[in-house]
Structure 1
Amino acid sequence: MTKISASEAAKAVVRRNTEEVQGGGNFKVFDELFADDFIDHTPQPGRTPDKAGALELYNVLRAAFPDFHADIHWQLADGDRVTTYKTYHGTHKGEFFGIAPTGRKIQFETVDVMSVRDGKITEHWGVANLFSLMQQLGAWPPTAATRS
């Protein structure tokens, strides 16, 4: 496989995860897309850095935001490593990190890097704007710009 086609194949795997698993709640596809030896280098608080921890996080997100989905703004790939910039959206209808449902619509940006080997996601590094999310849920005081 050439570097270009390997990169395109890796991007397709990551896109499927974003659209079908995270956005569609299809957890059968999760098992198909994630390697058993998956490692999350930036796990969320209280989550293990493995496949089980990632699945648990996805379940928590779907329970808190049943309409959880992402808009992928762009993806770049270098071989088997895919960087994705996206905005997540949802409606807060379930408990999230101890915050009771507010019914508020939320959105927050993330940048993820995922490695893909043999069609499976093997590693993840990510940065999410959770500060903005917590503000939208009323769990953190708004900034001066958002108070008016």
Structure 2
Amino acid sequence: MELPIIVRKRMRPPAASALWAVFFSQRGLYSPEAAIFEAALACEDTVKREAARTLIEKLHDLWNKGDLSRIPEIYDEAFIAHMPKGWERSEFVGHDGVRDAIERIRSAFPDWHEKVENMIVERDKVVTRYVSTGTHSGSFIGIPETGRCVSIDEISIYRIAGDRVAEQWCLTDDLTLARQLGRL
């Protein structure tokens, strides 16, 4: 029985490639050469995914440690971040924008820490769900120092271009942050 062409050409998950190769080759629908080619592509895809995962782990480490000299190794020069609309600045651009954002966070929360809870890597995008914590020791978005500890949930989507982060969309639990800082 011959399967429709769409089934033969559909991309398969890398982990299942070998099984699909055997299944289709036994039915004369999948050549050994195609299996080798697909395995090579799957291997290349795995390498790209691991590189993207490592890059985003470095990004969170940069925010945790505040080592601004690492910005060029992680962020593209034309980087743009899209932050929640209620923030003082809903976008920041380039290395200077990243530097300014890290300095503002770490001056208000010197012990700022982002703990990644989940990470999904797909093609040129990486999504992280993380918990950010810190002690409010300086002015932040117009709120004077409170000395309170905060813990807020965040989700970011990163677009990778080449070997750098080119764009980010970030959502934070601003309601919880406002409550923890005594604003609600």
Alignment TM-score, normalising by the size of structure 2: 0.71
In structure 1, runs of 5+ residues without a counterpart are 142-148
Cα distance between partner residues in 2 of 1:110 and 1:8: 22
1:101 aligns with 2:145: yes
- SS of 1:36's equivalent? strand
Q: Which has the higher strand share?
A: 1
1:66 aligns with 2:138: no
> What whole-Å deviation, never above 9, does each CA across 1:12-71 have from its counterpart, x for those lacking one?
11111101x110011111122111111223364325431232321111000000000111
In structure 2, runs of 5+ residues without a counterpart are 1-42
Q: Which has the higher helix share?
A: 2
Match of 1:92 in 2: 136
Q: Which moved more, 1:44-53 or 1:1-10?
A: 44-53
Cα distance between partner residues in 2 of 1:60 and 1:123: 19
Cα distance between partner residues in 2 of 1:30 and 1:112: 17
Match of 2:156 in 1: 112
Bigger Cα Rg: 2
Compute the displacement of 1:90 (Å). Answer: 0.3
Equivalent runs, 1:13-32 vs 2, <5 Å: 13-19=55-61, 21-32=62-73
> What whole-Å deviation, never above 9, does each CA across 1:101-136 have from its counterpart, x for those lacking one?
111110101110111222211011111111211110
Structure 1 ranges of 4+ moved more than 4 A: none
Contact 1:71 1:86 in 2 (8 A): yes
Percent identical across equivalent pairs?
25
* Structure possessing the higher relative contact order (Cα contacts under 8 Å, 6 or more residues apart): 1
